[in-house]
Amino acid sequence: MVRQAHHKPKVAIFDFTDCEGCQVELVGLRERLAEIASQVEIVRWRLGQDRRQPGPYDIALIEGTPITKEEQEMLPLIREQSKFLIALGTCATLGGIPAIIDKEKRAFWYQKIYGTNYKPRGVDALPLSALVKVDFLLHGCPVNGDEVVRVVEELLAGKTPKYRGYSVCFECKQAGNSCRLIEGKPCLGPITQGGCGAICVSGGSACWGCFGLREEANVEGLLEVLFKISDSEEVEKYLSMFLKRTEAYQKFKGRVEK
Amino acid sequence: MEESFITKIEGHGQLKVDWKKNQVTLEVAEGERLFEGIVVGRPATEAAWITARICGVCPTAHNLCALKAVEDALGIIPDPTTVLLRQLLLSAQMIQSHTLHLYFLAFPDYLEIDSGLELKKKHPKYFRAALTLKEASDEIAKVVGGRATHPTTTTVGGFHKTPSANQLKELKRGIQEALREAESTAHLAASLTYPEFKTNFLFLSQVGKGNHFNIYETVKTQGSDGTTWLIKDYKKMLTEEIRRYSTAKFGFYQKKPVMVGALARLAIQKEKLNPKAKQFLSQAKLDLHNPFHNNLAQAIEIVHFTEEALELIDKLLKAPKSTNPKGLTGLKRPKTGIGALEAPRGGLYHEYTINERGLITKANIITPTVQNLGSLEKTAQALIDQTKNFGKERRAKLLEMLVRAYDPCITCSVH
């Protein structure tokens, strides 16, 4: 996809508003990061280096949600200069935890937290795809290092990376976990794309869907099950953690308002 | 599409210098995520899960601090094994954060490279040290916390899942290897030539009971002037100011700028360090009044917390299995709880009010970097004042190095 014989692919890493945990996961790849870095030219990475080259870029990775006006203005410029644009982590792919706050509620919280004289910078926690075309969504809060390596290596080999065609449940069974839903505990595994290795459920937490909706996710079917074991207030908490700006949340709303 | 942020720091900030007036301001431009609003209306059990996401460099510190606050409100006292496991997690957090900061963000200035990745070719020995420390500390976070970034096993009252004795023994082998690299890191940090520069700020550090360098079970906050105050009084003692040029608040202690973090901890409780770290400190020429020496203090702490992790594992191997956390019951009336601990960058405070239905109705979080921003800006001004004979480029470089030495976590400070 991006391989060219005469030069190393130019990679730029950007970070918008977020916790930077996905970049920490990149550093956590250790030797593998060094290996990838030797195959490409990292021409821009604020967290990692001073060196900063203007575009065009073969691959741009953007972490974080474009929450401020400056970030929302910068995103299309990065898009224009990038052949292949990857959203890195759930803040970039879905809006992430910051998207729990609705746009119209922000003014209330600004006043509560910063007082009345403060001039806010944040506008709304949007996924990148709300503003530009994104070529690949590397979901995860944080991203899974193996998935990052897989996607980048496929790109470097000239392939177009594909999404995992299965849900978290598949990996959860492989990990030997007992099913939370069968035990009567809420879980979003069935509608969530795999690739995380079911790491949260393996640790004893629920799946909150940070890997985004899988293709052809049966949201209605899962809602049916969730409403049997829980109430709408609790179900809302699950669906709003990472999926508030997705159709899953809209389907939930539609069902409750009916 | 030009940004003017300082590179190699956690988050988006810049020092704006008016070279004509010799005046500097610390502008923080990180977007506000409004965590103190995000958690309101959500179950208290989610506070730790959500607030870990304040920061990807110190998520475990926020996670544990939120758990402590919620447990304080609900009157839950975790069993001693849970406390040991959390201490192990927090020790690993210190090593993770300090290692990332030193090798990836701060040391490149001194080793005349641009990126930490260049260590591989130019300084393979240091590269190996960085990787070994990162791996050993990430491994503790994974085995005990479920993941290197953003824990999955921790919960109110205890752990969903605890490591087996074999897993702990395996961890111990990795940490023993890391201890050698921790010492080589301290030697490296001690061998660097730090810019000469003097400040005289009050240091603050939370302290535990007795003789233990306890960063998790802290009972009070102590100043380098000898004053102490109880954790519950944190809001009276630490005040925050809003600046029109910053999305982060600027913190002060009784209106005075303060410094928190590794250098502050060593200033206040160095006699409590573990043996190897203590011995190292006695030989190193640590200058408490030079903020650039925060890097050296962090390296000494890496030694301390690596020793600490080994000791904690030995204790855990003898400890009974931690009891399963009980399901939460509702409260008769709303309750407020405070959690506090020493995070890698200094004292962290979380406070939540929880209603009868177990939902959060109010939240307040004061991070270490907020407390440091007041003194960081003043220190930057002092640096400008003290380097009038230097060229502009050198002064700009020194300012950047100063910011990195402070190791600000801008995303934490805005949250």
The per-residue pLDDT for range B89-105, each reduced to its tens digit, is: 999 999 999 999 999 99
Does the residue A161 lie in any domain? Answer: no
Cβ contact, residue pair B160, A203, below 8 Å: yes
User: Does the pLDDT value for residue B300 go beyond 70?
Assistant: yes
CB contact under 8 A, A122 and B33: yes
Tokens 């023993």 belong to residue: B176
Residues A45 and A138 in one domain: yes
Decide if B141 contacts B92 (C-beta within 8 A). yes
Q: What is the pLDDT of residue A6?
A: 67
Task: Select the residue from B107, B139, B149 to test the A interface by mutation, using most A Cβ atoms within 10 A.
Answer: B149
Q: Indicate whether B3 belongs to any domain.
A: no
Residue B276 has pLDDT above 60, yes or no: yes
Q: Binning pLDDT at 50, 70 and 90, where does residue B3 land?
A: low
pLDDT at res. B147: 98
**Does the beta-carbon distance from A113 to B37 stay under 8 Å?**
yes
Per-residue confidence band for A1, with pLDDT thresholds at 50, 70 and 90: low
- From chain A, the residues in CB contact with B56 under 8 A are 18-25, 142
User: Across the interface, which of A28, A81, A199 has its CB nearest the CB of B134?
Assistant: A28
- The alpha-carbon gap from A83 to the nearest alpha carbon of chain B, in Å, equals 17
Q: Is residue A4 part of a domain?
A: no
Among A114, A132, A156, identify where a domain stops. A156
Q: What is the pLDDT of residue B376?
A: 95
Q: Is A185 on the interface with B (CB under 8 A)?
A: no
Based on the structure, what is the number of domains in chain A? 2
Say yes or no: A124 and A49 in one domain.
yes
Same domain, A233 and A206: yes
Mean pLDDT of B211-226: 96
Q: Answer whether B55 sits within 8 Å of A78, measured CB to CB.
A: no
Listed residues A156, A178, A194: the one ending a domain: A156
Mind listing the pLDDT tens digit for each residue in B121-173? 999 999 999 999 999 999 999 999 999 999 999 999 999 999 999 999 999 99
- The answer to whether A178 contacts chain B (CB < 8 Å) is no
> Which of A156, A181, A215 is at the close of a domain?
A156
Q: Would A3 be classed as within a structural domain?
A: no
Q: Do A149 and A22 fall into the same domain?
A: yes
Size of interface A-B (CB pairs under 8 A): 185
Over the stretch A164-213, which tens digit does the pLDDT of each residue have?
A: 999 999 999 999 999 999 999 999 999 999 999 999 999 999 999 999 99
pLDDT number for residue B324 = 83
pLDDT value of position A7: 85
Is this prediction's ipTM beyond 0.90? yes
Q: Contact, B366 vs B348, CB < 8 A?
A: yes
For residue A101, the enclosing domain spans 10-156
Counting residues of chain B whose pLDDT is more than 90, the rounded percentage is 91
Q: What is the pLDDT of residue A3?
A: 55
Chain B neighbours among A 27-56 (CB < 8 Å)?
A: 27-28, 30-31, 33-34, 37, 42, 45-52, 54
Q: Choose among B38, B57, B105: nearest Cβ to A97.
A: B38
Q: What's the pLDDT score for residue B1?
A: 55
What average pLDDT does the segment B229-239 reach? Answer: 96
Report pLDDT for B5: 83
Q: What is the mean pLDDT of residues A78-87?
A: 98
CB contact under 8 Å between B43 and A28, yes or no, is no
Q: Tell if the CB–CB gap between B34 and A106 is shorter than 8 Å.
A: yes
Question: Domain check: are A22 and A134 in the same one?
Answer: yes
Residues A249 and A184 in one domain: yes
CATH number reported for the structural domain that contains residue B378 in this entry? 1.10.645.10
Which domain, by its residues, includes B211?
A: 13-414
Q: Is the pLDDT of residue A2 over 80?
A: no
Number of CB atoms found within 10 A of residue A184's CB: 9
Are A98 and A144 members of one domain? yes
Structural domain count of chain B = 1
**Mean pLDDT on A221-225:** 97
